[in-house]
Chains A and B, each alone.
Chain A
Amino acid sequence: MQKRLNIRISGLGGQGAVTSAHLLAMAANKDGKFAISNPFFGAEKRMAPAESYARIGSERIYDRGEIVYPEVIMVYHPQVITMGKSYTMPFYSGIKRDGLVIINCSEPLLSQDDVKTLEDLNVGVFYIDATKVALEVAGTELSSNMAMIGALAGITKVVTLQALDLAIQDRFGKKYVASGGTATLDEAIKKKFAKKEQLLAKNMATVTKAYEMGAVWAETHASLVAS
């Protein structure tokens, strides 16, 4: 049981890495845990590296900024690994012993050297085709980030599904002021659905589906569990 999970999310601009970290932290907050989240990115543009961080724990958190030594790394796009679109090289740099890596990809991506390094550190690697889950359940790849946070929660139980539901309602159900790029994507995802309620329900269904997939994987793999 971990007193604190430091979660590093590496993705590409537009994939919702920043939104995910905020949702995880908001959900943890609703669960009564301590949490903070923050993004780190350069000038905003689609497909450029974007990272975000969520720290969730059972005691007050002071630590700020990039997470250099994470317990969990989530990779939102294969290019983070294959094209080095990551702020740290290799993408798992700094991962703690007994940590967890979740990769959005249908097939293994890591080189034999990387596999060996992560095995030596007893780091679990879970591949989930989050984009496929999003397309199947929500009908849009824009919900891939929902699948990723669902998988994380399913494996580690760091936040509950109920709290994620409340956080999603807060983020997408109310008026939200965001910077230009994020506002454009918010509009895009709203247009995918006839009604706001439908957006909330489909996103939550995506989270739940991936949660179940993560929970099944965790049954057969020793992995991190949040306290």
Chain B
Amino acid sequence: MESTSVIGTANKKGQIFTEPRKLFFEAPRVPVFLTGSEVIKEAIRRASVDVMVAYPITPQSEAAALCGELFAEGYVGDYMRGESEFAVMSQCAGAAFGGARVFTTTAGPGTLRAFENFPMWAGARLPIQVIVTCRGINSPLSIQPDTLEISFLLDTGMMVWHAETAQDFFDWILMGYIVSEQPDVHLPLAVCCDGFFVTHTKDTINLTPADMTLPPYDPYRSPVPCMDMECPPVRMMRDPFVMKSNYISYATHASWQQEVRAACERSRKHTIPLLGGLIETENVDAEILIVASGTAVSQGREAIRLLNAEGLKVGLVKVKSLRPFPTEEIRQATKNAKWIIVPEFNVVGWLAREVRAIIDRNDRVIVGPHVAGGMTMPPEVIVEKIHQVIKAGKGELVHG
């Protein structure tokens, strides 16, 4: 059969299906001044999404409501509301099993309510994209940004990226589908950001033209067949192995779980050229480094400005991808650092834990400063921590 390409043809809204690299790197960009939620809408407008399922969680993010407008305008194939976050993620799975490009968004308690579905998505190799606009996890109740939920996502088998700004968000949502849908990856992706700090903040973003859109998802590139309800092809769905023999079940489970994680690692070769690496570095020859992800990177940049004004040189490592984790990249970037400061917007310090697990001489890692429950982290707090570290001198540990 002769294969045909849709590139260069128009969809029903008159948007031209555009070769992804051309869309990302060559298409003209126009600066606009929008909130992060509005930026999510603009990315989805250009993403040729077939199905979106929503459980709107205002005031955490207006994105679900804004994307509903896209459906009304005809930019999203189908749009429905779920009864709860668990229902939403299950409906997303159904749509993806059926061969659709799927989008949804959640946050905080919603993420946790939906949780059973995330490892299921990964195990079923469904390239769903979920935007996680991080919010505190109960109790006590918080509707403000706290990144604790990301630590729960790290071992689901999904890819997990952590955006710093709305610009990252716009680019990564579009690039994310291209990485997710590669036959040798074919995994769900959580694109995370720190709730209010990105979603409710107005910032300048460079958008690609609204009349250019990603090529549609091709479900025939899936490494597992798309679902036919008359004849479920995946043994795990009906008549699972565990009904036959525990030992076959163990073997299947173990090998498939490893394959899911291997697929996540294989995503690197697609992600690195699009995101410009899994990390971004500045002045990593400095003795003191800030290693951070999300909004903590922005606060780190402001702290570095203040420290530079004092004549102190401090480097920066921005971690973009958490799964796959940039193990080698971080080892290289931190090899000369005497002190590695890991500021975080959560109480447990999961990024510090990840960094400590992969570098040598890991007593160089300073866990914190931390804020939690959605509190802001003034750059002055990071500066103070670095002053403490310098005062404490060589060899003496400073924690907290």
Contacts and interface: CB of A to CB of B under 8 A. Distances in A.
B201 A36 contact: yes
Nearest to A39: B200
Contacts of A68: 376, 378, 380
Contact of B380 (A22, A39, A66, A69): A69
Interface string A56-80: 0000001111111100000000000
B150 to A, nearest CB: 17
Interface residues of A, number: 27
Nearest to B371: A65
Interface SS of chain B: mixed
B377 A65 contact: yes
Interface in B291-330: 295, 297-299, 301-302
B144 interface: yes
B298 A37 contact: no
B159 interface: no
Contacts of B297: 62
B380 A65 contact: no
Interface stretch (A41-49, A97-105, A134-142, A212-220): A41-49
Contacts, number: 71
B295 A64 contact: yes
Contact of B299 (A43, A62, A178): A62
Contact of A38 (B201, B302, B378): B201
A34 B202 CA distance: 11
A223 interface: no
B144 A40 contact: yes
A37 B194 CA distance: 15
B197 A38 contact: yes
Nearest to B199: A38
17 contacts: A25-B33, A26-B33, A35-B202, A35-B204, A37-B202, A38-B201, A38-B202, A39-B200, A63-B302, A64-B194, A64-B295, A64-B299, A64-B376, A65-B295, A68-B376, A179-B58, A179-B59
Interface of A: 22, 25-26, 29, 34-44, 62-69, 177-180
